[in-house]
Structure formats: structure tokens, C-alpha cells
Amino acid sequence: MGSNTAEKALQMLKFLPRVCLANLKPSPGSRTSKKRGRGQHGGDKHGAGNKGSGQRQNYMRLGYETGNNPFYLRFPHEPYYQGHHLRREYPPLSMLDLLKLIEMNRLDASKPIDLVSILNTGLYKIFPDQRQYGVNLTDEGADVFNAKVNIEVQWATEPVIAAIERAGGVITTAYYDQHSLQAMINAKKFFERGVPIPRRMMPPPDAIEYYADPTKRGYLADPEKISEERLVLAQKYGYELPQIEKDPEYEMLTERKDPRQIFYGLHPGWVVNLKDKVILKPQDEELERYYAS
């Protein structure tokens, strides 16, 4: 962009011979010859070092220390890693990142923000098949967070909740199962598949406590208790709780998904046809009963 070097180079090119196929060159030093000399010029070790295990390319198994007590066996059992391969992961997104996304217009704060809109920025990724279950909103940048948002994340700590609510926003923690997440990671691709939107499953037993907890702003918690807890948190952190009821964006701030719903405005069982721009809804009674919340 606008660099002086580009200008100078273009000025010089006016008086230089025409750039053509015959006078191109790569950057000096960027290419090295792969050829190895023959005979006495070739080197006799073929790049594998001198003698022994290395030269024979006898690679030892991972962690083996040629007879020492290996590092991975040297210490006793570490129980806090037990079941680590089965635990849910929540890849972090800091509040600073979130603020940046909003200020750079990658996220629209005038609408509810959920996992789908965060994923649609292309700047945050999850891999549900690696047991990643959504956003962990971390408190980095909580002090400067000033955006009024209605946000739904999958994991949040107390300072994060306080920072969102101090700015006049609303936060919910919500659980999505594997199938829902697969539909959310690329919503367009999912709609193109032409399958009905699945219904969101309830959280597993070990997560239900978190998502029904009003202090965690869980989506299964009692709304009355949540508004109580909002006041408690405001007193604990010492800020005046902005009144949502008098907010001009009251409608947006109180918009919530159904516990069975994945996309805002779309219900489970619907098929979105992007080509003809129509939504097909189930008519059959049995289907309606199945997809009912």
C-alpha cells in the first residue's frame, strides 16, 4: 500500500528494458539446487550422520530413552488428567476479541449474537468432532468491554457475566449437542444439504447442573431467579445494573432461543431451501409432535 518503494520501482521501470519472460529472476538466494554431487563431491553420509542408530534410520519408539526410566513413566499417576479424552472442550474467545469483532463490524451487535454468528465471522473455529462444544468467553478485556449485546455462549465465568451486564447487555449460557454444532459450523452448507434442522438435545447429566444454574445464566434456569442473580452480581461487583425494561432495544435484548432451537428464527424440523428461497415446514401431526419443544 502506498509504499515509496513501489512508486520508485515503477518510476525506474519506465526507463528499463521491457520486463518479459527472458529477464525474470527469482529473489537471490531463494532457490538452492537440490542436486547432490557424485563420487568424491557427494559426501559419503547421505545426510544421516555418522554410524549407529541414526545412520540406519532406526527410529526408536516415542518416549524411549535408550534404557533410562522414561520421562513419561518417571512420575506417579496424575489423576487430574483422568478422562481428559472424553471431557468437553470450550475453545476460548476473549471479551477483547469479541469487542474487536463488534467494532470492526464483523459481528452485528444490534441483533442477538450466538455461536452461529460468531462462527460466521470466519475468525473463530470449533471442531465438534474433537469434543469442542462452543465458546468459552474469557475475561480478558472485561474492564474495557462497553458493547451492549445479547450474547449466547457455551461457557462463561462470573467476571465475564458481570462485565456484559454492567454494559447493559444480556448473557446466556447454552448447550448444543454434536449434531446441532455440526449444523452450526457452516450453516449455509447445512441448509444446502436439504435435511430438516435437528432439534437440540438436552445437556448430558454432568452438564445439566451448569446450564440450569441462574448464577451461570444457564438457558434452563428460571428467568425470575436469573433477574435476582443479576442484582446480586451487580451488588457484588459494585456497579449499577442498567434497566433492560426501559431500554429502547428491549425486544432484542430479551430475545431467547427455545431450548430445542438451534438457529434464531428457524425451528427444528424446518427445511431451508436457499435456491428457491422457501422454508418447508412439517405438516404431519406425528412430526409436529416429535419436533415440539
Partner 1 sequence: MFSCTIPKLRIIFPTARSLSSLASPSQIEPRQLAFPPKYQQPRQVWLENFDTIEEKKLAILELHPEVFAANPRVDIIHDNVRWQSLYRYVSYAHTKSRFEVRGGGRKPWPQKGLGRARHGSIRSPLFRGGGVIHGPKSPNPHFYMLPFYTRIHGLTATLSIKLAQDDLHVITDLEIPTDDPNFVEELVKSRKWGPSVLFVDESDIMPRNITAATDSVKHFNLMPAYGLNVYSMLKHDTLVLTRAALDLIESKLLTHLHKNNSVPNTQKYKLNQV
User: Residue 39 interacts with partner 1 (CB under 8 A)?
Assistant: no
Choose one: 20-28, 67-75, 134-142, 230-238; the region binding partner 1 (CB under 8 A): 20-28
Choose one: 19-27, 85-93, 236-244, 254-262; the region binding partner 1 (CB under 8 A): 19-27
User: Residue 21 interacts with partner 1 (CB under 8 A)?
Assistant: yes
Of 52, 122, 238, 265, the one binding partner 1 by CB under 8 A: 122
Host H or E run for residue 52: helix 52-55
Choose one: 13-21, 56-64, 206-214, 275-283; the region binding partner 1 (CB under 8 A): 13-21
User: Residue 106 interacts with partner 1 (CB under 8 A)?
Assistant: yes
Q: In angstroms, give the least distance from the CB of 27 to partner 1.
A: 4
Residues 6+ apart with CB under 8 A from 250: 244
User: Residue 292 interacts with partner 1 (CB under 8 A)?
Assistant: no
Show the CA angle centred on residue 266, arms to residues 263 and 271, nearest 5°: 110
Kindly state the number of chain residues that form the binding site for partner 1, as judged by CB under 8 A: 23
User: Residue 85 interacts with partner 1 (CB under 8 A)?
Assistant: no
User: Residue 19 interacts with partner 1 (CB under 8 A)?
Assistant: yes
User: Residue 6 interacts with partner 1 (CB under 8 A)?
Assistant: yes
Choose one: 6-14, 50-58, 61-69, 90-98; the region binding partner 1 (CB under 8 A): 6-14
User: Residue 35 interacts with partner 1 (CB under 8 A)?
Assistant: no
The answer to whether 229 touches 160, Cβ cutoff 8 Å, is no
- Of 14 and 275, nearer to partner 1 (C-beta) is 14
The answer to whether 174 touches 219, Cβ cutoff 8 Å, is yes
Nearest to 217 by CA among 258, 264, 156, 260: 156
Specify whether the backbone of 217 is left (phi greater than 0), alpha (psi in -120 to 50) or beta. left
Question: Quick check: helix, strand or coil at residue 103?
Answer: helix
Residues 6+ apart with CB under 8 A from 24: none
Q: 93 forms bridges with which residues in the sheet?
A: 137
First to last CA, the chain: 54
User: Residue 20 interacts with partner 1 (CB under 8 A)?
Assistant: yes
Query: H helices then E strands: how many in the chain?
Result: 12, 7
The answer to whether 272 touches 211, Cβ cutoff 8 Å, is no
Calculate the CA 188 to chain-centre distance.
17
State phi, psi for 136 to the nearest 5 degrees.
-105, 105
Choose one: 2-10, 66-74, 131-139, 258-266; the region binding partner 1 (CB under 8 A): 2-10
Q: In angstroms, give the least distance from the CB of 44 to partner 1.
A: 15
User: Residue 3 interacts with partner 1 (CB under 8 A)?
Assistant: yes
User: Residue 18 interacts with partner 1 (CB under 8 A)?
Assistant: yes
Binding region for partner 1 (CB under 8 A): 1-3, 5-7, 9-11, 13-14, 16, 18-21, 24-27, 30, 106, 122
